Amino acid sequence: MQSLLQSFAPGTVGAWIVFVLNSLGIIGCIGYGCGQAHLVWLYLRRGPRRDRKMWKDVPDAALPVVTIQLPLYNEHLVAARVIDACAAIDWPADKLEIQVLDDSTDDSVAIVDERAAHWRARGIDVQVVRRGQRTGFKAGALAYGARIARGEFHALFDADFLPDRDFLRRAMPYFADGDVGAVQARWGHINRTQSWLTRAQAMVMDSFFLVEQEARDRAGLFIRFNGSAGIWRATAIEDAGGWQADTLSEDYDLCLRTQLAGWRMVYACDIVVLGEVPPTMHDYKVQQRRWGRGRGQVIRKMFPSLIRADLSPLVKAHAVFDMLNIVTVPSLLLIGVMSPLLSYALLHEPAIRPAAASVGQITGIIQAPLKWILLPYIALQALRPYASGMAALAREALESIPPFIAVMMGLNLLMMVAATNGLRGGEAVFYRTSKYSLPGGKGGTATRAPKGTRASLETWGEGLLAVYFSIAIVLDVVLGAWFYAPFHLILAAGFAAMFGSTIARR
Residues with a known catalytic role: 103, 251
CB-CB neighbours of 203 under 10 Å: 27
- What is the identity of the amino acid at 209? F
CB burial of 433-463 (b: ≥16 within 10 Å; e: otherwise) equals: bbbbbbeebeebeeeebeeeeeeeebbebbb
Strand partners, 128: 100
| Contact status, residue 413 vs residue 465, Cβ threshold 8 Å | yes
Give the angle subtended at the CA of 341 by the CAs of 337 and 344, to the nearest 5°. 150
Give residues with Cβ within 8 angstroms of 429, minimum separation 6: 137
CB-CB neighbours of 357 under 10 Å: 11
DSSP code of 265? E
CB-CB neighbours of 403 under 10 Å: 21
Strand pairing category for 230-233 and 153-156:
antiparallel
- HSE, CB side, 13 Å, CA atoms: give it for residue 406: 24
Strand pairing category for 66-72 and 153-156:
parallel
In DSSP notation, 169-235 reads: HHHGGGGGSTTEEEEEEEEEETTTTS-HHHHHHHHHHHHIIIIIIHHHHHHT-PPPP-SSSEEEEHH
CA distance 441 to 213: 26
- HSE, CB side, 13 Å, CA atoms: give it for residue 1: 7
CA distance 58 to 55: 7
In DSSP notation, 29-61 reads: HHHHHHHHHHHHHHHHHH-S--------S--GG
In DSSP notation, 334-365 reads: HHHHHHHHHHHHHHH-GGGHHHHHHHHHHHHH
DSSP code of 97? E
> What separation in angstroms does the CA of 199 have from each of 23, 214, 252, 273, 295?
33, 21, 25, 17, 24
Of 29, 24, 2, which Cα lies nearest the Cα of 325? 29
